[in-house]
């Protein structure tokens, strides 16, 4: 049976202040006190998994066991069908240590040309894991499908947003207002599932 989270402290297992802020915002309607892994000085485990699920679960579990509190972690990325799902869990790493997304987008474009460029379909995935100190884990996965386009368009968003057009739309995620993206994104999909299962009335 799905374990629910009633109230109290919740650790967001991330050292990225932007991500912690976004998650705290999404959880604002619930009676939870959000603290980050950074605030608690928790070590950041290496993302050694080869699936979104494995990485989200290992981050959530490490934070729950180190803090003695329930902990939430996410792992996300872009999967390109013509590249057999790459960059996938390596999405952040494709941008290198300086997080150079011009470099990552160019690497992707070259890979697509080598693959023949005919299939431009891709999807973003967001895996969300909620772990408790006793080792119990709940996992949810959100997804948004779309097409890749070149050249990149739009200054909003981050990462691969300027080349991704969600199905049924004409603007890239990089051209959309943040609120429009957030209504349809892989992260929103995963959070809806988490809230319904673990915090719902
Ligand atoms: P994570 O922080 O390990 O989950 O890395 C996720 C990486 O996937 C980010 O650095 C981006 O490269 C990519 N990514 C995930 N979600 C999005 C999104 O909504 N837009 C653009 N890129 C994303």
Q: Answer whether residue 114 is part of any domain.
A: yes
pLDDT computed for residue 83 by the predictor: 94
CA 122 to CA 110: how far, in whole Å? 15
What range does the domain containing 124 cover?
A: 8-198
57 lines ligand 1 (CB under 6 A): no
124 lines ligand 1 (CB under 6 A): yes
The two structure tokens encoding residue 58: 């290992």
Q: Which atom of ligand 1 is nearest to the CA of 158?
A: 21
pLDDT computed for residue 201 by the predictor: 58
The rounded mean pLDDT for the chain is 93
- pLDDT score of 118 more than 90: no
Mean pLDDT in residue range 132-161: 96
Question: What is the per-residue pLDDT across 67-113, written as a single tens digit (0 to 9) for each?
Answer: 999 999 999 999 999 999 999 999 999 999 898 999 999 999 999 99
Q: Answer whether residue 1 is part of any domain.
A: no
Residue with CA closest to ligand 1 atom 3 = 75
Q: Answer whether residue 92 is part of any domain.
A: yes
CATH number of the domain to which 134 belongs: 3.90.950.10
Mean pLDDT in residue range 116-142: 95
Q: How many structural domains comprise the chain? A: 1
Q: Answer whether residue 184 is part of any domain.
A: yes
Alpha carbon of residue 154 to chain centroid: 20
102 is catalytic: no
Q: Parallel, antiparallel, or unpaired for β 121-131 and 32-36?
A: unpaired
Judge if pTM exceeds 0.85. Answer: yes
The catalytic residue among 39, 74, 75, 102 is 75
* 36 contact partners, CB below 8 Å, separation of at least 6: 11, 12, 14, 15, 17, 20
| Separation of CA 78 and ligand 1 centre (Å) | 7
Q: Answer whether residue 2 is part of any domain.
A: no
Q: Answer whether residue 40 is part of any domain.
A: yes
């Amino acid at each position: 049976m799905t374990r629910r989270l009633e109230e109290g402290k919740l650790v967001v297992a991330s050292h990225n202040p932007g991500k912690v802020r976004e998650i705290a915002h999404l959880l604002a309607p619930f009676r939870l006190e959000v603290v980050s892994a950074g605030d608690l000085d928790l070590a950041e485990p290496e993302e050694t998994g080869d699936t979104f699920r494995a990485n989200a679960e290992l981050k959530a579990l490490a934070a729950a066991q180190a803090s003695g509190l329930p902990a939430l972690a996410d792992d996300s990325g872009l999967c390109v069908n013509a590249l057999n799902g790459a960059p996938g869990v390596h999405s952040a790493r494709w941008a290198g240590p300086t997080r150079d997304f011009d470099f990552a987008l160019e690497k992707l474009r070259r890979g697509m040309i080598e693959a023949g460029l005919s299939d431009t379909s891709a999807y973003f995935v967001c895996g969300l894991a909620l772990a408790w100190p006793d080792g119990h884990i709940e996992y949810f996965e959100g997804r948004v499908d779309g097409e890749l386009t070149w050249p990149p368009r739009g200054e909003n968003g981050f990462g691969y947003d300027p080349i991704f057009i969600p199905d049924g739309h004409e603007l890239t995620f990089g051209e959309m207002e943040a609120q429009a993206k957030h209504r349809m994104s892989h992260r929103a999909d995963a959070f809806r599932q988490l809230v319904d299962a673990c915090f719902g009335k």
